[in-house]
Amino acid sequence: MKYLSWLLKAAIFLTVFAFALNNQGDVRLHLFFGAYWDAPLVLVVLVALAIGVFLGIAVMVPPWLRARKAARLPRTETPATSAQATSPGEPPPHGI
């Protein structure tokens, strides 16, 4: 299984490397106020990927931190939801 994993990683690397070699042509990226940037296509794609990864991480960090904080807080059981709060003849509270 270990060799299969390395073979898959090598195939992905070679595919990306071949993509980069086939896309070395310069492209002009038009920015604001008439400015432009001439760069190889593979560099433009890499920068776009890096910006996308950064934005994805930036959006996911606050919910992740809230979830970690909620997981660290001790859970206290309220009497209304505990099983001992109901008497033997009483039906259980609604919900699961």
Q: What is the pLDDT of residues 37-59, one digit of tens each?
A: 898 888 888 889 899 999 999 99
Sign of CA dihedral 15, 50, 52, 36: negative
Backbone angles phi, psi at 94, to 5 degrees: -65, 155
Which pLDDT score, from 0 to 100, does residue 61 have?
A: 94
* pLDDT tens track for 3-14: 889 999 999 989
Q: How many CA atoms lie within 13 A of 36 on its CB side?
A: 8
Amino acid identity at 83 = A
pTM of the model: 0.54
Q: Does any domain span residue 78?
A: no
DSSP summary character for residue 93: P
Q: Does any domain span residue 79?
A: no
Q: How far apart are the C-alpha atoms of 17 and 12, rounded to whole Å?
A: 9
Average pLDDT over every residue of 7-25 = 87
Q: Does any domain span residue 61?
A: yes
| Total domain count, the chain | 1
Backbone angles phi, psi at 50, to 5 degrees: -65, -40
* pLDDT tens track for 81-90: 555 555 666 6
